[in-house]
């Protein structure tokens, strides 16, 4: 059975599956910390929410990309991916904190595309910094 887990196709499928599951869980966490419902807003055409959510998805994937590249085992990749996600989540709260005159969450929920775009770029930018830092 050891040979089965060392097969490159099995390893790729395992990493892919874990990243998909982690992305679903992490997006659920983001859903809990925002005042709006991501998928309902996206279904209703809220571009700001779509931009912010897309940035989060890209950010999560980027963090896992670096995590997979720099770690030998699936468990190490998951561990660093979870740590990277927590930093990305912290970045979201810092963005909200550093803009006291703007209620970021409310503005995105009201389809303020400028705020949604900035939120997306923060997620993408931070994911590259986080990814480059994890080992």
What DSSP letter does each residue of 64-110 carry, written as one string?
HHHHHHH-SSHHHHHHHHHHHHHHHHHHHHHHHHH-TTS-HHHHHHT
Domain limits at 55?
2-133
At residue 56 the predicted structure's pLDDT band, cuts being 50, 70 and 90, is very high
| Total of domains in the chain | 1
Res 1 pLDDT > 70: no
* Predicted pLDDT at 135: 64
């Amino acid at each position: 059975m050891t040979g089965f887990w060392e097969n490159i196709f099995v390893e790729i499928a395992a990493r892919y599956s874990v990243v998909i599951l982690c992305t679903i869980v992490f997006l659920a966490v983001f859903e809990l910390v925002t005042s709006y419902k991501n998928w309902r807003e996206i279904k209703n055409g809220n571009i700001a929410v779509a931009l912010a959510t897309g940035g989060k998805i890209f950010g999560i994937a980027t963090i896992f990309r670096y995590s997979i590249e720099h770690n030998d085992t699936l468990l190490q990749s998951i561990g660093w991916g979870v740590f990277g996600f927590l930093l990305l989540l912290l970045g979201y709260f810092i963005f909200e904190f550093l803009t006291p005159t703007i209620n970021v969450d409310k503005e995105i929920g009201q389809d303020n595309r400028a705020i949604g775009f900035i939120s997306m770029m923060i997620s993408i930018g931070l994911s590259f910094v986080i990814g480059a830092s994890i080992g």
